[in-house]
Structure 1
Amino acid sequence: MTVDLTGITSKAAIHQLFKEKLGFEEWYGPSWDAFWDSIIAIVEMPPVLTLTNWEEFAEHCPRDMEILRQVMQDYAVEMAPKRIVLA
């Protein structure tokens, strides 16, 4: 599965996109803890989630991009062979 991050320039926007594209629960809010809980235990994630056009988000939200990269690393360990990748 591929999620295009074109035009995503805020933490709220990326979490809303994830909620819509990955089918997160209605209660899902814009936090990395909720994201982690959702991808680990709540929704069925695809074998590979590819995030494209992420550079604009990284430019506007460097701290959140750093957190996302850490989540991706932790996810690869916790849920192997599933993974989240940047393309």
Structure 2
Amino acid sequence: MNSEPTEIDEEEEMEVPEQICIDLHGVSSARQLHELLRKELQFPLWYGHNWDAFWDAIRGLVPLPKRITFIGWANLVEALPEDSRKLRELFDKYSEKYGCYASDYCEVIYL
């Protein structure tokens, strides 16, 4: 019997929490950041761990919770200034493009 974790069946509907908190303390590399985002936002195992893949994922690959709170944002800005800028830029772009649709609205908080 295979005890390896498996991907969620594409036919299976994911349960999306109403809100999530993502703790950024201790994130010190882009790879760590993308892996944390993959796990917390329920991206598939084959997620590409780059900003193009992130954009593709949030705009339709997986549903987003209504609220995402990032804890330790200042730590991320200090450790990974370009990646933190890009992350915020993509969530701002998402909000601008899809925020007018109530079902797709996602509030992002940076603490």
- Larger relative helix fraction: 1
Structure 1: give runs of 5+ residues left out of the alignment: none
Deviations 1:40-69 (A, max 9, x none): 111110011111112222111111111112
Q: How many pairs were matched up?
A: 87
2:109 paired residue number: 85
Higher relative contact order (CA 8 A, sep 6+): 1
Match of 1:68, SS state, is helix
Contact 1:10/1:57 (8 A) holds in 2: no
Contact 1:50/1:84 (8 A) holds in 2: yes
User: What's the RMSD between the two structures over aligned residues?
Assistant: 1.2
Is residue 20 of structure 1 aligned with residue 39 of structure 2?
yes
* 1:1-87 paired onto structure 2 within 5 Å: 1-80=20-99, 81-87=105-111
* TM-score, structure 2 normalization: 0.72
Give the whole-Å Cα distance in 2 for the aligned partners of 1:7 and 1:79: 31
2:15 paired residue number: none
Runs of 4+ in 1 over 6 A off after TM superposition: none
Q: Percent identity?
A: 32
